[in-house]
Amino acid sequence: QVQLVQSGADVKKPGASAKVSCKASGYTFTGYYINWVRQAPGQGLEWMGWVNSNTGVTNYAQKFQDRVTMTRDTSITTAYLEVSSLRSDDTAVYYCAREQISPYYSSYAMDVWGQGTTVTVSS
Amino acid sequence: EIVLTQSPGTLPLSPGDRATLSCRASQRVRSSYLAWFQQRPGRAPKLLIYEASSRAGGIPDRFSGSGSGTDFTLTISRLEPEDFAVYYCHQYGSSPRTFGQGTKVEIK
């Protein structure tokens, strides 16, 4: 079945970097973007950006432009999110979610989500 | 950036009631690329509605979406116990993608 399986929880110190993985299975990996969305404790959902799993092109939210890197490895159908210079307010659950790529000026909703990865930033 | 404002923040209802959730956008949402997600505690969001009114696969027909332009509505015709959760609207027609702040449907 179609699924996205994320890496396990992580604890980092302020200033460090965190890398989260998202393993895709059950569908054609290169036909979809992988979006990253985070949720701070007790808060709403915040879109961080996406990576085109076919080309590797990225689109980041301006807020995260300087501190995030989204990549993918098509050989193992896995996408990655790396956040650098971590601060306490980066403590959140990080989700990956797929979105179908359209060759035209169409958009698709995020239809399959990973289970989430908790990243805790604490000294 | 399109700001999505959901109302009410909290909606206290009883099983069997009808729920009406609102989502207002600060600008027109291109091609009605507006989705609704359900999130239960400790779980990932689940896609319910896309393109404002199309139900995602496996979603019961008690969930319906409507609206266009800047005003959108999610209706749950008769609440089941598993429907008490937080609901988010989300626009994916322009970048950056944005989410509403959520509406919590709670048991009265």
- The type of residue at A28 is T
| Cβ contacts of A61 on chain B, cutoff 8 Å | 96-97
* A46 inside 8 A of chain B by CB: yes
Do B101 and A116 count as a contact with CB atoms less than 8 A apart?
A: no
All residue ranges of chain B with pLDDT < 70 are none
Q: In terms of Cα–Cα distance, which of A80, A88, A20 is closest to A50?
A: A80
Report the amino acid identity of residue B25. Answer: A
Q: What pLDDT, on the 0 to 100 scale, is given for residue A104?
A: 81
| Residues of A whose CB is below 8 A from B37 | 45
Distance CA A102, CA A84 (A): 31
Beta bridge partners of A94: A38, A117
Q: Does A123 touch chain B (CB under 8 A)?
A: no
10-residue mean pLDDT series, chain A (123 residues):
97 98 98 98 97 96 96 98 97 98 88 98 96
In this prediction, residue A98 carries a pLDDT of: 98
Question: Please, which contacts does B58-66 make with residues 24 or more away whose CB atoms are closer than 8 Å?
Answer: B63/B36, B65/B34, B65/B36
State the burial class of residue B30 (Cβ atoms within 10 Å of its Cβ: 0-12, 13-18, 19+): middle
Q: What is the pLDDT of residue A105?
A: 79
pLDDT at A2 (0 to 100):
97
